[in-house]
Amino acid sequence: MSQLLRVRNLTKFFGGLAAIHDVELHVNQGEILSLIGPNGAGKTTLFNIVTGIYPPSRGEVFLQNEPIVGCSPHQIARRGIARTFQTTVLFGEHTVLDNVIIGHRCRTHSGLWGSLLRTERTQKEEKESLSCAEEILSFTGLWAHRKDLAKNISQEAQKRLSIAMALATKPRLLLLDEPTSGLIMEETGELMNLFMSIIKRGITLCLIEHKMRVVMNVSDRIIVLNYGKKIAEGPPREIRYHPAVIEAYLGEEYVT
């Protein structure tokens, strides 16, 4: 199994505090990798560095052996990494369909003048964006909401919409930051099914997730962070009973 993403000696200081410290990890193509750990362990900071929001204090990030440290978030999205955020970020005053079309814009090339002059390329790209958005809305179960304003749909539908917007960028790697937070058990189960459908499309997933039911059921591998350092890595059956993970995060009651 080939490595899609590789992180080497990654460190990020905020003032004198190391949010992550000498973290090394990789994401294999076609797998679901979960990052778990206590609040403040550095999980979202790691996502922010990989997607170009933060520069690292030191260390390297490679996407299929190409270095991406120093690239802007837009450039990284074009290279094939998309993400969602812990707090769902949508264009609330626009329709669900328009939100997904906006997500596809990073794959288009028409500039301001092309849009104003309605060039042939602009019209072609608009049709492509619409077709892509419609297909993704069907895939993510949002077709019935396509005409609704994003601010008016349920929290669960908003979670799906944030994933749909990320999928519209045509990613190779999709980073999901607490995708099931705030959802009831039934909704969580439906989102887990969506994760498996995304994998079948050839898209690799990396999750930050606190619900152990999700982590243990969908993950191929789990990496555990604590105080900015990696303390464990392995398949769910090993992480579940790992002494350091039980002490730092899961607690004895989880395995009894």
144 and 180: one domain?
A: no
Q: What is the pLDDT of residue 255?
A: 53
Q: What is the pLDDT of residue 88?
A: 82
Could you tell me the residue range of the domain that residue 179 belongs to? 3-80+171-255
Q: What is the pLDDT of residue 123?
A: 67
Domain end marker among 165, 194, 214: 165
For the chain, what is the domain count? 2
Burial class (CB in 10 A: 0-12, 13-18, 19+), 65: exposed
Q: What is the pLDDT of residue 10?
A: 97
Q: What is the pLDDT of residue 113?
A: 38
Q: What is the pLDDT of residue 128?
A: 87
193 and 71: one domain?
A: yes
36 and 74: one domain?
A: yes
175 and 250: one domain?
A: yes
Cβ(110)–Cβ(121) under 8 Å?
Answer: yes
90 within a domain of the structure (yes/no): no
Q: What is the pLDDT of residue 250?
A: 73
161 and 175: one domain?
A: no
180 and 109: one domain?
A: no
29 and 138: one domain?
A: no
177 and 159: one domain?
A: no
Average pLDDT by stretches of 10, the chain with 256 residues: 93 94 96 95 96 96 96 94 90 94 69 51 76 96 97 96 95 97 95 97 96 95 96 94 85 57
Q: What is the pLDDT of residue 119?
A: 60
Give the dihedral of Cα atoms 37, 38, 39, 42; nearest 10 deg. Answer: -40
